[in-house]
């Protein structure tokens, strides 16, 4: 994960005002489309890096003296590296430590960071769905595309990726019968789906 270095980069993320917070931490974030350019006409970067994730830390003097602030920063760097994969692929993130972070246990900060980074991912997906829903439809994993419906003793599963449809009914006497139709023998109106009953 690269670092946010310039004041301009920090202001760009903080000005956007998209953030999630917990007891000891606040995570500000700015998500960039992967094909977005650098932006400014003066050649300076004005938005998030299209090449990957960038991290900035904001630990004010309210957290404590220099030794305490540096300890908090070291902890936050470790946590950011640990949970980097929970962040969107192209984003700038600023983690701001509240004064209570100086006295927090590492395990508490660890839990908070995991939850916050997960919330960043969820909120960034919601924002991108609002702006361009069709682009993100291809990015959803199989579990999100799978719809499962359970009713009484029957279970029905529809998987979009395999175009299969299964239906298992358990008769009252406990015997289970399964019949499989080959795709050629399937009803032409079913689109070549395999039906098991």
Higher model confidence: residue 98 or residue 196? 98
β-strands 164-169, 154-159 pairing: antiparallel
Q: What is the pLDDT of residues 20-55, one digit of tens each?
A: 999 999 999 998 866 654 444 444 555 666 668 999
Write out the two tokens for 177: 């019968």
- Spell out the alpha helix ranges (H) of the chain: 7-16, 66-82, 106-137, 142-145
Contact 178, 162 (CB under 8 A): no
Statement: residue 170 has pLDDT above 50 = no
CB 158 within 8 A of CB 194: no
* Chain CA centroid to CA 59, Å: 25
d(CA 95, CA 91): 13
Higher pLDDT, 68 or 125: 68
Q: Choose between 190 and 120: higher pLDDT.
A: 120
pLDDT at 132: 67
Beta bridge partners of 20: 27
The pLDDT of residue 72 is 98
The per-residue pLDDT for 1 is 86
Q: Who's near 153: CB < 8 A, 6+ residues apart? A: 169, 170
CA-nearest of 172, 166, 176, 180 to 152 is: 172
Domains of the chain as residue ranges with CATH: 2-137 (3.30.230.10), 142-196 (no CATH)
Q: Could you tell me which residue, 163 or 78, shows the higher pLDDT?
A: 78
19-21 and 25-31 as β-strands: parallel, antiparallel, unpaired?
antiparallel
- In three-state secondary structure terms, 4 is coil
Does position 177 have pLDDT exceeding 50, yes or no? no
- Which is more confident, 34 or 14? 14
Q: Is 158 exposed, middle or buried (0-12, 13-18, 19+ CB in 10 A)?
A: middle
Residue 14: which of 26, 25, 23, 3 has the closest Cα?
26
């Amino acid at each position: 994960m690269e670092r946010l270095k310039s004041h301009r980069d920090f202001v760009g993320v903080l000005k956007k005002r998209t953030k999630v917070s917990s007891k000891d931490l606040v995570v500000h974030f700015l998500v960039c489309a992967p094909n977005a350019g650098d932006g400014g006409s003066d050649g300076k970067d004005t938005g998030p890096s299209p090449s990957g994730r960038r991290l900035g830390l904001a630990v004010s003097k309210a957290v404590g003296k220099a030794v305490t602030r540096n300890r908090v920063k070291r902890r936050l760097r470790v946590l950011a590296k640990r949970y980097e994969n929970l962040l969107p692929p192209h984003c700038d993130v600023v983690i701001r430590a509240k004064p209570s972070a100086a006295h927090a246990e590492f395990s508490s900060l660890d839990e908070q960071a995991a939850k916050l980074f997960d919330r960043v991912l969820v909120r960034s997906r919601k924002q991108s769905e609002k702006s361009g829903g069709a682009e993100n439809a291809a990015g959803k994993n199989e579990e999100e595309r799978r719809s499962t419906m359970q009713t009484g003793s029957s279970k029905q599963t529809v998987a979009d990726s395999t175009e299969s449809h299964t239906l298992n009914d358990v008769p009252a006497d406990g015997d289970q019968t399964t019949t499989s139709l080959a795709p050629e023998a399937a009803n032409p109106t079913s689109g070549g789906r395999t039906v098991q009953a």
